[in-house]
Amino acid sequence: MPWDKGVPGGGGPIPLADVAGKRWNLLREDLPLPVAVLDGDSLERNSRWMRSFAAEHGVALAPHGKTTLAPALFDLQMRDGAWGITVSTPHQIAVAVAAGHRRIFVANQLIGRSGIAYVLDQLERDPELAIYSLVDSLDLVTQLAAVAAEKGGRRALPVLVEMGFEGGRTGCRTVEQGLAVARAVAASPYLELAGVEGFEGIIRKADLESTLDAVNAFLGQVVMLAQACDREGLFASDDVLLSAGGSGFFDLVVTAFNAARLERRTTTLLRSGCYITHDSGLYTFLFSLLNMRAPELLAEDAPSPALRVWAYVQSMPEPGRAIVTMGKRDVGFDEMPKPELWHRPSADMSAPQALTPDHQVIALNDQHGFLDIPHESPLRVGDMIGFGISHPCLTFDKWRVLHVIDGAFDVIGSIRTYF
């Protein structure tokens, strides 16, 4: 739509299928800035890399759709062999269902009658649809069963018991607690136990070695619970899901879960999402740690940043300072964006040039960014800057439309998000 941020104004609605025919070019200033763009080659390469990782290690992948909430990118991930799509909220479930996905993993608890009823209704309407969710308490088991009983559906709701850790987020804190929840699930005619789940991505300790030890210990707890459920015959299916894996420690998840050795067949299900665009901050750092642990994994076609936000230098009000047309409404800021490239449209520049690391974003307002720049900086008012971002989830949710560009900065398509 012409009123969407980053889309040229002055015209009527533009179908996404017609965008490439507009022949827009970023460097030619055909797009209003700020604008979020995705490098098409990097997207494809990143997706292939994760596909290869999953295939080589015999695991399944349900990429976390909340990263992009863009069905066009879901489709790319599914074409590259994803088992299904992961989401977190009833709204995100509805997006995945509307986009035609038939295997949806909810990496969260379903809470509240509205959300529970919606999922149960969808399962009744479509016998081919599978929606998995998490439980971590007897109270939640009771609430899920109560809504299911009220609805009178014919299909049981598949759930996984979630393991957590002290000081963490959701999840049972002990194997004994998890086993009690699993027994309650297995005893309910309205639920079925599909597996065991955990999320290791937020485990942080004082140093790297302690963090890795804590991650491995936590994954061991997930396996112990799965083994206990297996011994008691609590799983409803002969194919048990063992699921974890953010975008930082998925290699450790594979090692732990593939060695679980249950009596039943197991599927190790990873849920990494940020790999599809990678980034210039958090995940670059996490992958540097992965490279230290297992350099062979990144030997070829390693993921690279695919998402940038471009903005203009709009003012240089004092020495050492530039103000740009990008702020908190345009880019995630749990880590400041990184000025990586610059381009002067009025000059005879064939391609953007790299900026030195002493160009740094030091603060963001709603619509403005503050840059510290060196005395010898080439920047002038009207120049364009391409910013690398950290934690792509928190940039995607600020854009309804992102453009896909090729190596010549031509816009070859656009995608829509549904946050």
**What confidence tens digit (pLDDT) does each residue in 162-215 have?**
999 999 999 999 999 999 999 999 999 999 999 999 999 999 999 999 999 999
- The label of the residue with tokens 């979630």 reads 162
pLDDT in the model for residue 153: 81
Residue 404 contacts residue 56 (beta carbons within 8 Å): no
Using pLDDT thresholds of 50, 70 and 90, give the confidence band for residue 239. very high
Residues 306, 42: contact at Cβ < 8 Å?
Answer: yes
Confidence at residue 301, expressed as pLDDT on a 0 to 100 scale? 84
**pLDDT value of residue 407:** 97
Any idea which fold 102-273 has? TIM Barrel (3.20.20)
The percent of residues above 70 in pLDDT, for the chain, comes to 100
Confidence (pLDDT) at 228: 98
pLDDT at residue number 331: 98
Check residue 204 and give its pLDDT: 93
pLDDT of residue 12: 86
Over residues 328-344, the mean pLDDT reads 97
CA dist., res. 255 & res. 124, Å (int): 37
Q: What is the CATH number of domain 16-39+303-416?
A: 2.40.37.20
- pTM, two decimal places: 0.96
- What is residue 8's three-state secondary structure? coil
- When pLDDT is averaged across residues 82-93 and rounded to a whole number, the result is 98
Q: Does residue 28 surpass a pLDDT of 90?
A: yes
Q: What is the chain's mean pLDDT, rounded?
A: 96
Pairing of strands 307-318, 384-388: antiparallel
Provide CATH 2.40.37.20 ranges for the chain.
16-39+303-416
Residue identified by tokens 């003012």 is 315
Res. 11 pLDDT band, cuts 50 70 90: confident
What span, in angstroms and rounded, lies between the C-alpha atoms of 395 and 329?
Answer: 9
pLDDT of 1? 67
Is 138 in a helix, a strand, or coil? helix
Q: Give the model's pLDDT for residue 245.
A: 79
Q: Phi/psi class of residue 70: alpha, beta or left (left: φ > 0; alpha: ψ in -120 to 50)? A: beta
* Dihedral sign computed on CA atoms, order 95, 96, 97, 98: positive
Range name among 151-155, 220-224, 407-411 with the lowest pLDDT average: 151-155
How confident is the model at residue 346, as a pLDDT? 84
